[in-house]
Structure 1
């Protein structure tokens, strides 16, 4: 190891780690297919390394904690030798005085400092790694093993840690076992799908944790505004608030951002922050900045030439109507109405059960909160087999021959998913397009892809274009599972966990029996019946005692 010139040089032989440089040279000669394999291989190695790092952080804390306790007991073992000393220490404890304050910093602080220095991270980040490592070793052991074998990454494991924070020690083994089983039984999934799956398992096996988390949500609300470390001249806003309040604010910002005319020069992201500033100024309307709504330029600063040109233009336009603004969903000047989408069982809405529901863009929400949100909401009821919405003219049209899905079918498809179905995408489902897996034939609708639940899936605009104009191929089976094949030949499942896992009535009905399936079913029934008759005959011939 050599230090000098403002840096450190560590050779592979001295550090005990094989240098990656030869592999990088080889990677330059690999094909795209091989590079994807390298990427997934490196991701699995990174997950295994994360498991080891978190374990080491926890072990470092334990070692430093033992050192601290040993150092403390050398000077003060906690024993008292008189009644007066006992009363004095009891009074100090009642007053919140730490008898070991003079021996600070403790083992947790020492481990935090060492870990932060080793990884060049803040103390807060180091503390979080130590806490996560402790959960990995003592609370989510089975789920942690899925991190070790590369089925999930550190980010998803941290999601599991936070979403199970309020689960009691008695309920944690069941939650851990079911979560690890779900991870191993399903293909990898996006963070939105993974978070919803964790919440669903917690709601099923530790319902008290959901109640405790809801009660704590209001107490933990906060907002922070500070300088952006990566954007000079900018600030960053972050905070935490209950999911219902967040959904209301998010819907209000979206509604205000969509209320301007289409030719407003700002992007949606810019309009959302302008809407937030408008709310802070006690305004519920976002001013439009399109050319037709912008305030007219004054002539006080024009010179004589410009004023003459303006006068000539006015004379030329005499008697002609001025430009009119384009229509928009909301009329500027009128407060827009915020909208958010909730999927919930009718039995829950009626108070017959306490099943959680799904709030689009925010995840699972407990039953009591959903009922309060839906008190005055507009509701749509779906049964799993929507009306096609096609007119009947003389003879009934074949099902699915209209390109635009009916409103009921759109609702059914969106309720069956948690977001965009492209692998890894987290776009909320009600902001996506509905894509025909088998393309719709506009010239001969009866020969192209049908507009049905089994041939529709939500895709955000970006991934919709990638699928349509790129080299990706997709397939959707009879149970609406979406498969995507990349240009390199790799296949991914896009909706490993979806709304149909939460709401069973959304699962499509079994397809009609095929003669081949019926034939095999008859054979199974025959074998079962024959075996049962043989057992009955043997029991009749050999009555007890045997």
Structure 2
């Protein structure tokens, strides 16, 4: 009997899609959220199915092995030989063909039409969801995270090998996922790595050793763009951050008239580094244009011309600031820096780093100390549009990335946005430059918030940044921040009965209700077809 997979009746799908065309944007947003939950639930079931196939194929393999080899050894020499094979890394069962994992990998890969490596990742994740991170797997099953998020958690927790510690880790991660709205990738990574450092500090050191062991650089033809090649590297986090920062510094060292985009300049900077240069040659007109030293002029033979003055051609100008110096930002507790504890730090754009690595990076770093009372001191500049350096450091250090929902742009490379617009005519009238009115936003989301007035944003006294979409849906953008990692930056209390929560909840409900009423009036006045 031959079974064909993937055949189904499409009439129901087509009918539902036709019905979606009649829904409003508000209803379509609910459909998006529903589809996300359904996909996550289906992915969880897929992982479990792959894991169950793995279990069954392992049983089949063991039965076949048992038919030929009972595992018993009749002499000391046979026992010794088996022990030596184990020490040498030889599999005594290799002669019986592919094992259970290999058989399941081939089967899952054929069904899902994915390479063997991807099929093996799915099987391993299924085993993790069923046996190791059970509660976190349930978060995937009910749509609190997506498949990519769960695979990320599996990868970043695999070095916690103690079963008891793995159970504790699973509990803490699942609790954080169920207590908070969905997190962006940067916030999810920070939360998971912080939890790993709390439960099993040695795992950070093992991760550091693994990163050093697995370092590699590959250069291959680009499969999707003929004539181009793709460069990829697996490097320790700090080394990668240093290279990234140097490329950015070199790209920013040229004159403003350089016609290349920043991406092009970073690519050229990498080529310059490979050529042994520590700077990027500027490409602006002033630095590159050649001047004709022999002007084409007709000269009368009867006139004794004056001798021509030879003018040297201008040479390309070196970068205006000399060799580019890489810059990256680290947030750390002073107690850790002084060696009083080994709490991890946060490397902007990269994530959690262990204490020893962090202290080594701080050896020649420029330091800025933030204190609890710095918030009051920074408020003295509230009447100016640009925040002071101290206030800017407080805002950026208190966040992990852009505060817009789902965005992971690093906090130190994005804009600082006034939640309530700054009043340039009368700074005391509203929108002052204070900590509670500032938040990091990447340039894309900053422009969306500024020019698309249907988007609204609110910032609570608790430091929470809420965004209301054009359809009236409310999203919390910074459910996990650096304040959760470094409480000394300024504790953010979250009691359920805090008066600020009730006030803000009422304000959001009233604004959302008014917005929905406006949409209803518009649709009643101009019903389909528009």
Tell me which interval the TM-score lies in, with the shorter structure as reference length: 0.7 to 0.9
1:483–1:325 CA distance, 2 compared to 1 (3 A): farther
Task: Give, in whole Å, the separation in 2 of the partners of 1:184 and 1:122.
Answer: 33
From 448, 467, 475, the equivalent of 1:484 is 467
1:375 counterpart SS class: helix
1:45 and 2:38 aligned: yes
Q: What is the CA deviation profile of residues 113-137 of structure 1, one whole-angstrom value per residue up to 9, with x for unaligned ones?
A: 1111111110111111111111111
Give the TM-score normalised by structure 2.
0.85
1:10 and 2:7 aligned: yes
1:325–1:208 CA distance, 2 compared to 1 (3 A): same
Question: CA RMSD for the aligned pairs?
Answer: 3.1
Equivalence for 1:493: 476
Equivalence for 2:446: 464
Task: Give, in whole Å, the separation in 1 of the partners of 2:274 and 2:196.
Answer: 37
1:143 counterpart SS class: helix
Task: Give, in whole Å, the separation in 2 of the partners of 1:362 and 1:398.
Answer: 33
1:11–1:308 CA distance, 2 compared to 1 (3 A): same
Task: Give, in whole Å, the separation in 1 of the partners of 2:134 and 2:321.
Answer: 56
Equivalence for 1:364: 352
Answer yes or no: is the 8 Å Cα contact 2:463–2:492 preserved in 1: no
Task: Give, in whole Å, the separation in 2 of the partners of 1:217 and 1:101.
Answer: 30
Task: Give, in whole Å, the separation in 1 of the partners of 2:488 and 2:81.
Answer: 66
Task: Give, in whole Å, the separation in 2 of the partners of 1:57 and 1:297.
Answer: 69
1:358 counterpart SS class: strand
Answer yes or no: is the 8 Å Cα contact 1:2–1:8 preserved in 2: no
1:308–1:194 CA distance, 2 compared to 1 (3 A): same
**Match runs of 1:432-447 below 5 Å:** 432-447=414-429
Task: Give, in whole Å, the separation in 1 of the partners of 2:170 and 2:11.
Answer: 36
1:18–1:75 CA distance, 2 compared to 1 (3 A): farther
Task: Give, in whole Å, the separation in 2 of the partners of 1:96 and 1:508.
Answer: 52
1:456–1:62 CA distance, 2 compared to 1 (3 A): same
1:202–1:226 CA distance, 2 compared to 1 (3 A): same
Task: Give, in whole Å, the separation in 2 of the partners of 1:310 and 1:155.
Answer: 73
**Match runs of 1:224-235 below 5 Å:** 224-235=218-229
Task: Give, in whole Å, the separation in 2 of the partners of 1:489 and 1:310.
Answer: 75
Task: Give, in whole Å, the separation in 2 of the partners of 1:250 and 1:91.
Answer: 46
- Structure (1 or 2) with the larger CA radius of gyration: 1
Give the TM-score normalised by structure 1.
0.83
Q: CA deviation at 1:88?
A: 5.1
1:88–1:371 CA distance, 2 compared to 1 (3 A): closer
1:270 counterpart SS class: helix
1:309–1:263 CA distance, 2 compared to 1 (3 A): farther
Equivalence for 2:304: none
Task: Give, in whole Å, the separation in 2 of the partners of 1:2 and 1:108.
Answer: 24
Answer yes or no: is the 8 Å Cα contact 2:186–2:408 preserved in 1: yes
**Match runs of 1:498-509 below 5 Å:** 498-507=481-490
From 337, 348, 354, the equivalent of 2:342 is 354
Q: CA deviation at 1:308?
A: 3.8
Q: CA deviation at 1:324?
A: 13
1:509–1:366 CA distance, 2 compared to 1 (3 A): closer
Equivalence for 1:400: 382
Equivalence for 2:111: 118
1:278 and 2:272 aligned: yes
Task: Give, in whole Å, the separation in 2 of the partners of 1:250 and 1:37.
Answer: 39
Equivalence for 2:26: 33
Superposed structure 1 runs of 4+ greater than 3 Å apart: 80-99, 297-300, 307-311, 322-326, 330-333, 387-390
1:235–1:79 CA distance, 2 compared to 1 (3 A): same
Task: Give, in whole Å, the separation in 2 of the partners of 1:248 and 1:446.
Answer: 42
Answer yes or no: is the 8 Å Cα contact 1:140–1:176 preserved in 2: yes
Answer yes or no: is the 8 Å Cα contact 2:215–2:235 preserved in 1: yes
Answer yes or no: is the 8 Å Cα contact 1:388–1:405 preserved in 2: no
Task: Give, in whole Å, the separation in 1 of the partners of 2:125 and 2:424.
Answer: 54
1:103–1:289 CA distance, 2 compared to 1 (3 A): same
1:20–1:264 CA distance, 2 compared to 1 (3 A): same
Task: Give, in whole Å, the separation in 1 of the partners of 2:382 and 2:455.
Answer: 25
Number of aligned residue pairs: give it. Answer: 485
Q: CA deviation at 1:429?
A: 0.6
1:213 counterpart SS class: helix
Q: CA deviation at 1:212?
A: 1.5
2:101 counterpart SS class: helix
Answer yes or no: is the 8 Å Cα contact 2:418–2:439 preserved in 1: yes
Answer yes or no: is the 8 Å Cα contact 1:421–1:482 preserved in 2: yes
Q: What is the CA deviation profile of residues 285-326 of structure 1, one whole-angstrom value per residue up to 9, with x for unaligned ones?
A: 1111111111417699xxxxxx74999xxxxxx9x9x99999
Answer yes or no: is the 8 Å Cα contact 1:424–1:494 preserved in 2: yes
From 381, 401, 413, the equivalent of 1:419 is 401
Equivalence for 1:534: none
